[in-house]
Every structure is written in C-alpha cells, then in structure tokens.
Amino acid sequence: MHLDQFGAVTVYSTKSLHISAPGVRKTRSGSADPLYPFRYDGLRLVHRSGDRYFLLNGGWDEHTGWLIVLRDSSEVRLEFSR
C-alpha cells in the first residue's frame, strides 16, 4: 500500500486527542486558532463512513501502523489536501 494514494489530513481539535503514532506531529497552535488549539499533521484519510473518519498515520507500515478513527463533531476540524 502506498500512502501517497490517500489524501493528507490536518486535524485541529478543541482538546488533546493523544495521538502519538509514528509520523504524526502534534503541535499547539497557540493564539492562531483559539477554538482549536491542538493540531495533528501526518495523517492520511483512507475512508469515511457515516460520521466517522478513518485515518492512517504517515509512518504507517504493517508493524507500526495505526488506524485512527475520529467522529465528525464540532470538537474537531479536518483540512484535506493532496
């Protein structure tokens, strides 16, 4: 599987999501966006079903890969790119 075939996702959150997967960077956006102070980069969208997003970490492989499932809510904001 090539992660490049999936769109990149940046996740912004009102609280820490405690995602510590390989290839994922967590930063605090500080005053840039006071509503969503936590930012996660290095994720790829593999599927969306109903109100759930299924994401893989950017460092995914068969031994250290994570599947992260986020529910669509007002507590998270997702930005998609190629």
pLDDT grade for 1, boundaries at 50, 70 and 90 = low
pLDDT tens digits, one per residue of 17-73: 999 999 999 998 766 678 999 999 999 999 999 999 999 998 788 888 899 999 999
What's the predicted TM-score (pTM) here?
0.89
CA atoms within 13 A on the CB side of 81: 6
DSSP notation for 28-75: E-GGG-TT--EEEEEEEEEEEETTEEEEEETT--TTT--EEEEE-STT
Q: Which residues contact 45 (CB under 8 A, 6 or more apart)?
A: 6, 7, 8, 9, 53, 54, 55, 78, 80
